[in-house]
Amino acid sequence: MKYLPLQILFLLFAIKAHAQFSLDKTEYDFGEMMADNERYIDFNLTNTGADELTLLRADFPDDVAVRYSKKIIPIKETGIIRVKINPTNLGKFERTITIYYGSSPKPFNLTIRGIVKELPNDIQTNCPDFNSTKEQKIVTADFTVTVLDAETDKPIAGARVPFNPLILKSKFFVTGFDGKFREDIPIGIYDIDASAKNYLPAHQRMYIGKEEKGITFRLEPIKKPLDSTKIAITIPEKKQEIEHKKPITTTEKRTAEDKPGELPRLEYKPNNIVFLIDVSASMDEPDKLPLLKESMIKMVSALRDIDKITIVTYATGTEVAMTTTTADNKRKIGRVIKHLKAGGFTQGGKGIRLAYQVVEDNLLDSGNNQVILATDGDFNLDKSDDVLYEFIRQHNEKGIKMSVVGCGKNPRALKKMTKIASVGNGNFIQVAKGIDSEELLIEEVKKNARR
């Protein structure tokens, strides 16, 4: 038998002396996480030492919470370290939790990982307790919503502000005379809407936490058309009112069927518009999909019952998120737009083919037939660029235009998006913060639908 060097024997003795516990695992993979999945995992720690084991502090990231079943674990007994992830973003995550124990200067690490496919609606900072399987009391944040007139900055009283998911079963909150309401809101991610009579609605998707004190909506007034063709003219001698027909400008050519805020029928042809929207994970940023949704809702508010809208989305796969609907169904269209969520990879080629197919199924012989592609960058194609461009060009010859809304800043992607719009005989529109993005889509439709 060979004798081990003295240094190695000392090292083995030291390791054994510090091996006071065993863990059933040190890593855990949640896999793909949907909104209703469990978000916590238990690590079972058994005291295998010759003395009781004391668990000290735990260091972990802000989106993680940790709870001990007991801090002092007697000899040969097992304690639980419960770790919970509170995701605020879609996509992959990997988090390390560092646990300090006893008098040891060296802590040990636990690791959790997974892929968030859907964000939960009840994000909490604490872990479930060990006495029941239910989550602890919901953590709330003091949150204020302010609704103002975009032109005058004056408060709008009586504005309705629903939260999705619903809070305390309330359908909506209502602003007071100061244009505000204040409420304790459970921490989480919400789609928040604001609407008031004679104003265009607004929408915002946001995470409400302890740091977010509130949000301000500035609603655009709906412009009412000039419908009077009589002007009172005072003649000093007779002081009588005479009928005077004003010259009708192009912006005043309206019919009795026209509604305030909508495109005049005499000015603009019927529209057959298919929105092709990139809902891959990279679009889940405030200046991308949320900003695009606001622009879409504003645009739809200007369309009429003679206009048709279809929404096609693409990420890892493609789908028709909303079948062809006339634009007078604004609430239905608004609901679909608001509930668009980002996640997954990008497969743009299949989405383009599906969008053109939908346009052709609803082709208007004397209207504006148009695909509006909205994306933040380069996408995976199942065709070469040349084949894709030829495909778009062929449909352009059929009278179907392709415009592109760019939500990103990648130079290579912007170049390709501009080329697609050019080949599709449409326009390239850059949507970004600091730009009046809400007006851009309306103007794009006007350009293509003008008689």
Provide the pLDDT confidence category of residue 10 given band limits of 50, 70 and 90. very low
What is the predicted pLDDT for the residue at 126? Answer: 59
Q: Which is the CATH superfamily of the domain at 263-451?
A: von Willebrand factor, type A domain (3.40.50.410)
Res. 184 pLDDT band, cuts 50 70 90: confident
> Cα–Cα distance between 206 and 289 in angstroms, integer?
12
| Predicted pLDDT of residue 311 | 92
* CA angle, 208 then 212 then 218, to 5°: 90
Residue with tokens 């079963």: 169
Confidence check: pLDDT of 14 > 60? no
Top CATH class, 139-224: mainly beta
Q: Do 71 and 100 form a contact (C-beta atoms < 8 A)?
A: no
For the chain, what are the domain ranges?
Answer: 16-116, 139-224, 263-451
Secondary-structure percent of the chain, ordered helix, strand, coil, rounded to 5: 20, 35, 45
Domain 16-116 classification at class level: mainly beta
Sheet containing strand 214-219, edge to edge, reads 180-186, 140-149, 214-219
Q: Which residues contact 184 (CB under 8 A, 6 or more apart)?
A: 140, 141, 142, 143
Please tell me the predicted confidence (pLDDT) of residue 380: 52
User: What pLDDT is recorded for position 11?
Assistant: 40
Mean pLDDT to the nearest integer, 326-342: 88
Give the pLDDT mean for 247-252. Answer: 43
Highest-confidence segment of 290-294, 402-406, 408-412:
402-406
| pLDDT at residue 39 in the model | 86
CA atoms within 13 A on the CB side of 241: 3
Average pLDDT, the chain: 78
Residues 146-182 pLDDT 10s? 999 999 999 999 898 988 766 655 567 889 889 999 9
Q: pLDDT at residue 137 above 90?
A: no
Q: How confident is the model at residue 253 (pLDDT cuts 50, 70, 90)?
A: low
- Give the span between the Cα atoms of 205 and 54, in whole angstroms: 44
DSSP 3-state assignment of 287? coil
pLDDT for 234 equals 39
Is the pLDDT score of 378 beyond 70?
no
Q: Are 395 and 304 in contact (CB under 8 A)?
A: no
Instruction: Kindly report the pTM of this predicted structure.
Output: 0.46
Ordered strands of the 40-47 beta sheet:
21-23, 40-47, 78-85, 64-68
Per-residue pLDDT, averaged over 293-310, amounts to 87
Provide the token pair at 131: 């006495």
Q: Report whether the peptide linkage leading into residue 260 is cis, meaning its omega lies within 30 degrees of zero.
A: no
Could you tell me which residue, 432 or 67, shows the higher pLDDT?
67
Q: HEC states along 170-193? A: ECCEECCCCCEEEEEEECEEEEEE
User: Does residue 343 have a pLDDT over 60?
Assistant: yes
Q: In what order do the strands lie in the sheet with 163-164?
A: 163-164, 188-194, 202-208
Tokens for 111, please give them: 């690791």
Of residues 224, 290, 232, 235, the one with CA closest to residue 258:
224
Tell the burial category of 147 from Cβ atoms under 10 Å away from its Cβ (0-12, 13-18, 19+). Answer: buried
Query: Who has greater pLDDT, 225 or 396?
Result: 396
Confidence of residue 121 (pLDDT cuts 50, 70, 90): low
Angle at alpha carbon of residue 8, lines to 4 and 13, rounded to 5°: 110
Q: Which residues pair with 372 in a beta bridge?
A: 275, 403
Task: Check pLDDT > 80 for residue 310.
Answer: yes
Whether residue 361 has pLDDT greater than 60: yes
pLDDT at residue 133 tops 50: no
Q: What is the pLDDT of residue 111?
A: 94
Common-topology check for domains 139-224 and 263-451: no
DSSP-derived 3-state class of residue 322: strand
